[in-house]
Amino acid sequence: MMEVAEREYQFSDERREIKVSIIMPVYKVENYVAKAIESIQNQTLTDFEFLIVDDGTPDRSGEICDQYAERDPRITVIHKENSGAPSARNIAIDMAKGKYLYFLDSDDWAEPMMLEELYNLAEINHAQLVIAGFYIDTYFKQDQYMTTDYIPADAIYQTKEEFRKDAYKLFDKNMLYPPWNKLFLRQYVLENKLYFPTTFWDDFPFNLSVIKNIEKVAVTSKQYYHFLRARSESETSKYIPRMYEKREEEHGWMQGLYRYWGVNDANSREMIARRYTERLIGCVENVTNPKCTLTKREKYKTIKKMIRNENCRKMLPQVRARSVMMKVMLLPIRMGSAGLSYLEGAVISYVKSRNVRMFAKLKASR
């Protein structure tokens, strides 16, 4: 844990303007949360409130947050019984007073210019939503990591039609999935009653609800946020029992969104199809994960059902693989071979568990 900052902060809550409300749920992050908090305290934009929600964490995370709040009046810590990150964020949304909302994960950190530059971009363009690039830092050891860059093209959208036509580019760059690379106009969130659903992987459906009727969006290629893949029990490394069902549900959401938008061009269709098949490979690997409790026979049966699913057979012909590696990875699925798909998933699981560096490089180049 980093040492609590010695600096004292003197602000008058009654007089100061709150430009941004930072919202951060906290649960089992005692080794990370200090850096997350200090990355906000070190922001060049200082007119913010920091709402930290201790979601009934059993470790010292809540105590660490309280220590920072004692020294910085901009920080408010809410302690509640454990009920998940969505409910923690939703409580803070209702408490927030800032013109904009920003959502931070408690095991990540942000560059010092982030809030100021996102705020200025929102103000200049009267944006309801600002989207920025980010970094994924994949750690192999405590002091060894690989950084993957996620960089969108600079863009300003002033109408729904402009944004919807180009949204496939943002999905392709992984810009529309997480909440932490975005600044949200609070008035827009409240007027549209936009809250995080109490479901597994709540970020994606929340963002879909935000962009469903969005008009004014600003996108910057600048990167500010560091998403850390470091914890051994993170969702990127463990077996997830209902991953396939969740991915099918998400695919339905994507198709529903584009039907609502009335967007059906070739680029958008191809993005949806490629997104589906890439995640299907992840679902196959999830079944071959050593922590999966299914028998080998059950695994083959499950994979066979996945790759012969109606959605899969409809999406495959539309996919234009962007790398040789992805073309090869799709071959067993195109062939409808459960055996080869199982073998491929087992290889991916092996690399994922034995060589994190190689897995991160392969994933980034797909």
Using DSSP's 3-state secondary structure scheme, residue 221 falls into strand
- Tell which residue, 325, 314, 249, has the closest CA to residue 281: 325
Show the tokens assigned to 332.
């067993």
- Measure the CA–CA gap between 335 and 343, rounded to whole angstroms: 14
Any idea which residue has 């290889």 for tokens? 347
Mapped onto helix, strand or coil, the DSSP state of residue 186 is helix
CATH (residue range 20-229): 3.90.550.10
What is the distance of C-alpha 341 from the center of its chain? 27
> How high is the pLDDT of residue 2?
40
Per-residue CA distances from 252 to 11, 213, 335 (Å): 48, 18, 24
Q: List per-residue pLDDT tens for the chain, 366 residues long.
A: 444 444 555 554 455 689 999 999 999 999 999 999 999 999 999 999 999 999 999 999 999 999 999 999 999 999 999 999 999 999 999 999 999 999 999 999 999 999 999 999 999 999 999 999 999 998 877 788 889 999 999 999 999 999 999 999 999 999 999 999 999 999 999 999 999 999 889 999 999 999 999 999 999 999 999 999 864 444 446 789 999 999 999 999 999 999 999 999 999 999 999 999 999 999 999 999 988 999 999 999 999 999 999 999 999 999 999 889 899 999 999 999 999 999 999 999 888 877 777 776 767 666
Distance in angstroms (rounded) separating the CA atoms of residues 23 and 106: 10
Measure the CA–CA gap between 273 and 34, rounded to whole angstroms: 41
Q: Where in the chain is the domain with CATH 3.90.550.10?
A: 20-229
Cβ burial 329-338 (10 Å sphere, 16+ → b, else e): bbebbeeebb
Structural element, H or E, at residue 180: none
For the chain, the first-to-last Cα distance in angstroms comes to: 35
Chain center to CA of 305: 28
Predicted structure pTM score: 0.92
